Amino acid sequence: MEKDTYIIAEYIKGSIPGETLEMVTFAGELSPKKRPTIVLLGRDIAGPAQGLAEKTGCDIIAVMGENLELYNADTYRRALLDILLPLAPTWVCLPHTAMGYDLAPGLSVGLKAACITGVEAIQGRTFTRSAYAGKFLVDISPTSTSAVLTVLPGSFRPCRDFRGPVGRVTTVERSGSSPRSWTLEIKESPHRDSALKDAEVIVSAGRGIGKKENVDLLKRLATLFPRSAVGASRSVCDLGWLDYRHQIGTTGQTVSPKLYIACGISGAIQHVSGMKGSQTIVAINTDPSASIFRVAHYCVVEDLATFIPLLIEESGDLPPAGHRPPQPGWP
Ligand SMILES: Cc1cc2nc3c(=O)[nH]c(=O)nc-3n(C[C@H](O)[C@H](O)[C@H](O)COP(=O)(O)OP(=O)(O)OC[C@H]3O[C@@H](n4cnc5c(N)ncnc54)[C@H](O)[C@@H]3O)c2cc1C
């Protein structure tokens, strides 16, 4: 019998992020013959629910209520359990985002289901996630009949626009029960750097740069390109070599520039999930077995302290960035 799969969608600032569409692809692999049902929570979400039904062809349960306007773990979990418990789902899928990994454990307890987080790949009922900063891959199979799964953003392609019949939208009003806490406002962190989002070229620093002073080397490399910015791994931010607004990855920013130059970055999945959508990835690393080379298009096995100055020196023969004649593929 085909399994019942439910996706918990995200709805942020009036739009549904791409991670929700990736979940539709993931759910298709979980249960190929039956389209998943998407649960969307919010206040005035009739329009987005209809849009999602048209785009995905999935049935939508739109759960609407005053308390649900802004994400709150307590109110969302209670609303979801009210909906899901009578449906006895086999799979409940969430993106592995701040909302997803906050909600998943509570949902799995309420549903008496297994909880598997950070899923990157699937084979039958076996789910693969990475461990120890991407150095190991772990295969996990649930022994219970149902499971709550969080899926790492970027691991599956977003679903294409569905050309079949539009899904059915069911609206559920949820009001009343007084929440234990109330989310008053969600606002953008002042640490976020819009320069990273807009950059066509990102030169990114990892712990392999060795010391804070070497950030200048990367900045010099970045200035060779118009519309460029400097990014960083979390280790670099934790060390205080760059501010957290530069951090790229699961708990930083997600970027997809034309060119991403990873300098001394090992390629932990938490970093890769934030940059693997880049059009061209160049990685510079002394370790030929570094995980970053699995996603890089160009792999440079070199000491960055030697390679980058040479690269800058070589490009000194080029006219300044703004005056270069257009070249195919030149960012
Ligand atoms: C819940 C959670 C969330 C996280 N979120 C993020 C996130 O958003 N973003 C993020 O980046 N990380 C995140 N992390 C951390 C992540 O797991 C890794 O620890 C981190 O990305 C590693 O940073 P790194 O690659 O700079 O350092 P390392 O893993 O130490 O790698 C350094 C690399 O530099 C290379 N190297 C050394 N010397 C040189 C040299 N001279 N020249 C060239 N290469 C050299 C080494 O071979 C090595 O591959 C998160 C972790 C957790 C648990």
Fold match between domain 5-173 and domain 194-323: yes
100: left (phi over 0), alpha (psi -120 to 50) or beta: alpha
Q: Write down the CATH number for the domain with range 5-173.
A: 3.40.50.620
Share of the chain above pLDDT 70, in %: 91
Distance 174 CA to ligand 1 centre (A): 43
Average pLDDT over residues 53-76: 94
> What atom of ligand 1 comes closest to residue 236's alpha carbon?
26
Contacts for 208 with CB less than 8 Å, ≥ 6 apart:
263, 264, 265, 266, 285, 286, 304
Average pLDDT over residues 25-48: 94
Residue 116, pLDDT > 90, answer yes
Q: What is the pTM of this model?
A: 0.70
Question: What distance in Å separates the CA atoms of residue 325 and residue 174, rounded to the nearest whole number?
Answer: 60
Task: Give the burial class of 273: count Cβ atoms within 10 A of its Cβ; 0-12 exposed, 13-18 middle, 19 or more buried.
Answer: buried
**pLDDT-based confidence at residue 324 (cuts at 50, 70, 90):** very low
Tell whether ligand 1 has an atom less than 6 A from the beta carbon of residue 275.
Answer: no
Distance 160 CA to ligand 1 centre (A): 33
Which residue, among 238, 239, 221, has the nearest Cα to 230 in the 3D structure?
221
Pocket test for ligand 1, best of 101, 196, 215, 235 (most atoms within 8 A of CB): 235
Pocket test for ligand 1, best of 233, 286, 300 (most atoms within 8 A of CB): 233
Distance 300 CA to ligand 1 centre (A): 17
Q: What is the pLDDT of residue 322?
A: 45
Q: What is the pLDDT of residue 133?
A: 62
Considering only CA atoms, which residue is closest to atom 48 of ligand 1?
266
Residue 321, pLDDT > 50, answer no
Residue 189, pLDDT > 80, answer no
Give the CB-side neighbour count of residue 243, counting CA atoms within 13 A: 8
Question: What distance in Å separates the CA atoms of residue 105 and residue 56, rounded to the nearest whole number?
Answer: 27
Q: What is the pLDDT of residue 134?
A: 64
Question: What distance in Å separates the CA atoms of residue 265 and residue 284, rounded to the nearest whole number?
Answer: 8
Q: What's the gap between Cα 36 and its chain centre?
A: 20
Tell whether ligand 1 has an atom less than 6 A from the beta carbon of residue 251.
Answer: yes
Per-domain residue ranges for the chain?
5-173, 194-323
Question: What distance in Å separates the CA atoms of residue 6 and residue 239, rounded to the nearest whole number?
Answer: 40
Q: Identify the residue with better confidence: 176 or 101.
A: 101
Which residue, among 111, 117, 114, 73, has the nearest Cα to 94 in the 3D structure?
117
Residues 263 and 206: beta-carbon distance below 8 Å: yes
Strands 126-131 and 121-123, bridge-based pairing: antiparallel
Q: Write down the CATH number for the domain with range 194-323.
A: 3.40.50.1220
Q: What is the pLDDT of residue 59?
A: 96
